Structure 1
Amino acid sequence: MESYSEIVQKELSEWQKEVTRKPSLWNKSTKTIQTKVNDLIPDKVHNVITKSIKNMVHAVLVGSEYTKKRFPLKEATLEERDKKVDEKIQFYKKTALIEGAGTGAGGILLGLADFPLLLSIKLKFLFDVASLYGFDVKDYRERLFILHVFQLAYSSPFKRKEVYEKVANWNETVNEFPTQTKYLEKIEWKELQQDYRDHIDLAKMLQLVPGIGAVVGAYVNYQFLEDLGKTAKNCFRLRVLQNETP
């Protein structure tokens, strides 16, 4: 019978193959479509996302909103941590679903409000996951890791392998950012914003359409949290197992 560690290693191996896979012809064709979609989206929507991303990074690195009352879980096995994280994933998926349905039913203004609200839900989730895997989110280096996990979850197929390598080799990556401000200086804002927009644009635009906004908003938000949950869980599992290696 396989040990839990062996089961996790197999799941990690499959996930690693998935995130490092070369872009397909479908990815290349959809990139062209996505570029055209971006040109059709009103500047007001682009500005909301851009501002939300910038505020998110600053809040993560220099704010205290997400670190309050969060303490690393000590003395727990990987299996116990995984179970607690699975519970969090289910909780946040339902939270995102309700939020998406509510803003989607409210028309364009509330639909636009969904962008920063959904970002906040995603960040709270990531901070909870980090704590459950035993990492102290009051340490700015752990908050940097959270931002890289976020970036990996929403990076394009053309950049995903590069971001994965940074996550997988975190001890080397974090040395590039000796201070919080160093990351703020180095981060490529345009690239991060564009990747996030490309990931959510078409689906979120449908959320602004009267009559179907509530249904689309609920489904899309639920799916976004499911995808983020898978990425976060595997990223932190990888670090836990690396730290356990002599």
Structure 2
Amino acid sequence: MYEKEIAEELQRWKRKLLKRPSMVGRYTKGLQSKMNNLIPEKVHSVVTASIKNMVYATLVGSEYTTKKQPEVALSLEQREEKVFQIIKTYKRTAALEGAGTGAGGILLGMADFPLLLSIKMKFLFDVASAYGYDVRDYRERLFVLYLFQLTYAREEKRSDLIKQLEEWELKKEHLPEKEEYLATFDWKAFQLDYRDYIDLPKMLQLIPGFGAVVGAAANYRFLDLLGETAMNGYRIRWLSSLPE
């Protein structure tokens, strides 16, 4: 019964994700492009370097991995009870971090970019483990990056990314070795979507005083969106593994 409810929720989420952006959304995108030109190049450089380093660390490092073996004998409902608690905890953490760095103006605001990325990656790894996947396997880390990318992807890329999630169980069996994959990973395209998505609220966060409110609200929302995408990404895998 729980899986049936989840399958219906999953279809609603897909429809919402793939529908044409609203007029407000299109206006915001245009405004965002104009605001991009006002952001100091130093800030853009910090964001770009942070994302590049995060992608590399996610695929090859052990910074975000857990030493605990994922639990294997839990139902989907039991796993998602844990995931809801993880989301709640990380949203609070991200909001506090955003408020603290936002209150400090441009210098601390710049520090928020790598800090928030680190929080997001640790969050996704904890969610993966809660669903029973071992993130010590680099293929599971790559799946985490797809979830991250889908959360902040442009509308025209979402359909292809959802397809990647739906075909993951087959696709992962044919992935090259980690070192070979790293040599061809297009981190530039990956980071551009993310940077474009967060630029507008993060620029407002650089305003002293006002930035504290914006930083807390933006980080809370970013984690909320990431949590929604992560849950539905793993739901796709869980439901596809059920017998017909």
- TM-score by length of structure 2 reads 0.94
Counterpart in 1 of 2:44?
46
Tell me, yes or no, if the aligned pair for 1:37 and 1:202 is still in contact at 8 Å: yes
Q: 1:18 aligns with which of 16, 19, 30?
A: 16
Give the gaps of 5 or more residues in structure 2.
none
Shift of 1:21: 2.3
Query: 1:89-100, aligned counterparts within 5 Å?
Result: 89-100=87-98
Q: Secondary structure in 2 aligned to 1:69? A: coil
Q: Residues 170, 110 of structure 1: CA spacing in aligned structure 2 closer, same or farther, 3 A cutoff?
A: same
What is the identity, as a one-letter code, of the residue corresponding to 1:184? L
Counterpart in 2 of 1:84?
82
Counterpart in 1 of 2:70?
72
Give the gaps of 5 or more residues in structure 1.
none
Q: Is it true that 1:33 corresponds to 2:53 in the alignment?
A: no
What is the identity, as a one-letter code, of the residue corresponding to 2:181? Y
Cα distance per residue 1:64-97 (max 9 Å; x no partner): 1111324212200000001000000000000001
Counterpart in 2 of 1:142?
140
Shift of 1:184: 2.4
C-alpha separation between the residues in 2 aligned to 1:245 and 1:46?
48
Q: Is it true that 1:225 corresponds to 2:223 in the alignment?
A: yes
Runs of 4+ in 1 over 4 A off after TM superposition: 23-29
Shift of 1:107: 1.6
Q: Residues 31, 158 of structure 1: CA spacing in aligned structure 2 closer, same or farther, 3 A cutoff?
A: farther
C-alpha separation between the residues in 1 aligned to 2:48 and 2:211?
22
Tell me, yes or no, if the aligned pair for 1:167 and 1:235 is still in contact at 8 Å: yes
Which deviates further from its counterpart, 64-73 or 234-243? 64-73
Q: Secondary structure in 2 aligned to 1:68? A: coil
Counterpart in 1 of 2:191?
193
Cα RMSD, aligned residues only: 1.6
What is the identity, as a one-letter code, of the residue corresponding to 1:7? E
Aligned length: 244
